[in-house]
Amino acid sequence: MARIIDKEEKRIDIARAAIPLFATKGIVQTSIDEIAKSAGVAKGTVYLYFKNKEEIIFAIWDMLSQRHEAAYERRICATMSAKEKILEFFNFTECEEEHDKEQLLVLYQNFISAMLMDKTGLYTQYFESFFQRDYEVISTCLQEGIDTGKFIPTLEVDKLSNAIIVFVEGALIKAKIGNYNFKEAQAFLTEYITFLLEYYTRKS
């Protein structure tokens, strides 16, 4: 009896197989042929699940972001402050549980680079929706901090939310330039987000 193939599982398997290729060779230099070989399938099979390489990239990002959001929800609790929740949102230590964390750091950097070099609009459109989710989490936490008296009432939620997102994008570039490893990049991110939030924290 033929085995029933779970299409979503197969799609994820192909996307996973592309991670080390995108991390080591870069997005532009990686071919569909190489992804198919890494996944142990025919090139035509890849096209059954993805129209192009961009769809594979976005599937990877969706997979990693969903896992991160699930880890974030497990870590936060009602007793945490708004500041602690924001710092937890940018805590990516769950990367160590399943994938090579150094590969993922390079992968994130390559994603940002692809977005900056994008001439098709595909990356820009996708990442705008992605960063909108980040914005919603950050702005909700900031407003909570204002409402509970932890942040100063004059804090401009929209501006600081966008500033944190811009900083995170820039931090990945800084990590690339400074040749930071995963642990160093995480520490840099935590240190400077803490610095940004500290300025708006109400002193008791």
Domain count, the chain: 1
Q: N- to C-terminal Cα distance for the chain? A: 70
Beta bridge partners of 201: 151
Lowest average pLDDT, out of 48-52, 88-92, 174-178, goes to 174-178
> What's the CA gap between 204 and 192, in Å, rounded?
22
Asked if residue 140 belongs to a domain, the reply is yes
Asked if residue 35 belongs to a domain, the reply is no
Is the model's pLDDT at 174 over the cut of 90?
no
Asked if residue 49 belongs to a domain, the reply is no
Instruction: Enter the tokens of residue 113.
Output: 């680079």
Asked if residue 26 belongs to a domain, the reply is no
Asked if residue 45 belongs to a domain, the reply is no
> What's the CA gap between 53 and 13, in Å, rounded?
15
Asked if residue 95 belongs to a domain, the reply is yes
> What pLDDT shows up at residue 177?
85
| Structural domain that includes position 143 | 54-200
Asked if residue 142 belongs to a domain, the reply is yes
CATH of residue 77's domain is: 1.10.357.10
* Residue pair 193/167 in contact by the 8 Å Cβ criterion: yes
Amino acid sitting at position 174: K
> What's the CA gap between 110 and 103, in Å, rounded?
10
* Residue pair 138/161 in contact by the 8 Å Cβ criterion: yes
Q: Which residues contact 5 (CB under 8 A, 6 or more apart)?
A: none
- Encode pLDDT of 132-150 as tens digits: 889 999 999 999 999 999 9
State the pTM of this model.
0.84
- Encode pLDDT of 25-84 as tens digits: 888 889 999 999 999 999 999 999 999 988 999 999 888 888 889 989 999 998 999 999
Asked if residue 19 belongs to a domain, the reply is no
* Residue pair 69/92 in contact by the 8 Å Cβ criterion: no
* Residue pair 115/124 in contact by the 8 Å Cβ criterion: yes
> What's the CA gap between 40 and 181, in Å, rounded?
30
Instruction: Enter the tokens of residue 155.
Output: 């804090």
